[in-house]
Amino acid sequence: MTTLPLAPASADNGRLECGYFERGECRSCALIETEYRQQITDEEIWCHEVLAAVAPSVWLPSFTGAVRDFRNRAKLAVGGRAGQVTLGILDQEFHGVDLRECGIQAPTIRAVIPVLAEFLDATGLAPYDVSARRGELKFVHVTAAPSGDLMIRFVVRTQHGLDVLRSRRARFLELVPHARVVSVNLLPEHKAVLEGSREELLHGGSLRMNLDRVDLHLRPQSFFQTNTTVAIGLYEQVAEWVDAVAAESLWDLYCGVGGFALHCAQPGGRSGDDQDHRVRRVTGVEVSEQAIESAKISAEELGVEAQFLAADATEFAEAALTAGAAGAERPDCVIVNPPRRGIGARLSAALEGSGVEHIVYSSCNPVSLAKDLARMPGYEVTQARIFDMFPHTKHLEVAVLLTRR
């Protein structure tokens, strides 16, 4: 088995040195040459400007993590040729650029990439040629839990690719014994997406993401934040806010696998022996049925009585908040964690007219957040905090606490 050095990059004085960037082979970390403290300062200035119209009363200190080894998920494009694949990205001419030593990936991901390449070489399957629209191997997605366990997903073009990988399942598990989930995704179409709708599980069921207080369960198409340390900080901050407003009932909309809901399910749950043993009524809503099933497993393990529903967040809220809706109970607090497009006009209007006292909005796009907040003038932004989920890029997560005026 070929072995390579794990890290060609080094963090020095808050800066991550990267040979790939210096050679012009990969520019994904566009801000890598900027000292990390300056990256944060620039993010704060920009985010404050974007949200100036809603003027948060208090900006808490930005939450930051490591400048390297922080990324728990790799989306590796397969390039090269049959028997000599590259795993990383495709350049502008769609040639493979091998990034097996990328310094931002978790060490367990860096360590497994050469093994993945060796395994794929042995299959004889050809990487997908974007220009010619032929070939088989498209992507390999790798997710790493804090324990070192892995979820590996192969994305191929046809049933033939799936059949070949399925036939080599036992060999793969010998090579990667800490793979808790292995699956193959079919993406027959020629389009710029990372996965298709059909997924076949070859091994395991879910990857246990063992966080500080809550274990979450990720299935192949589940969403989880890419930076585990910062994700934990975000969950804890939201739980602190929910405790501070003394919410007895809570909705978590766009709940995914239940990260926010489960961290908030036990009031005072961060304080160990001083834990408040009141019961908080928690309802999580997410369109993905797989994610909801994962959230239910975690709730059962924690022994909390959280309710999780597979439904559209906007439709659920509109129906439940409609005046006089049968059996509807207005929660004390609503958490929203939408995709980049934000919650949109319909859900903003439903919340604005709801009478809900507090909203916690976690956003990966301050621009869409600002638009949604402008649609809810009945709320004051009392606290805000930036979470640097994506070091060396302009992307960030920002969470805000809203209180009805």
Q: Which residues are catalytic?
A: 364
Indicate the residue type of 15.
R
Closest CA to 347 of 370, 327, 367, 373: 373
The answer for residues whose C-beta is within 8 angstroms of residue 210's C-beta and 6 or more apart is: 145, 146, 147
DSSP one-letter string for 217-238: EE-TT----SBHHHHHHHHHHH
Question: SS3 of 248, please?
Answer: coil
The rounded Cα 35 to chain-centroid distance in angstroms is 25
Distance CA 88, CA 102 (A): 9
What is the SS3 assignment for 52-118? CCCCCCEECCCECCCCCCCECEEEEEEEEECCEEEEEEECCCCCEEECCCCCCECHHHHHHHHHHHH
User: How many other CB atoms sit within 10 Å of the CB of residue 170?
Assistant: 8
Q: What angle do CA 228, 176, 118 make, to 5 degrees?
A: 110
Closest CA to 90 of 106, 75, 105: 75
By residue count, the chain amounts to 405
Are residues 309 and 283 in contact, defined by beta-carbon separation less than 8 angstroms? yes
Are residues 396 and 340 in contact, defined by beta-carbon separation less than 8 angstroms? no
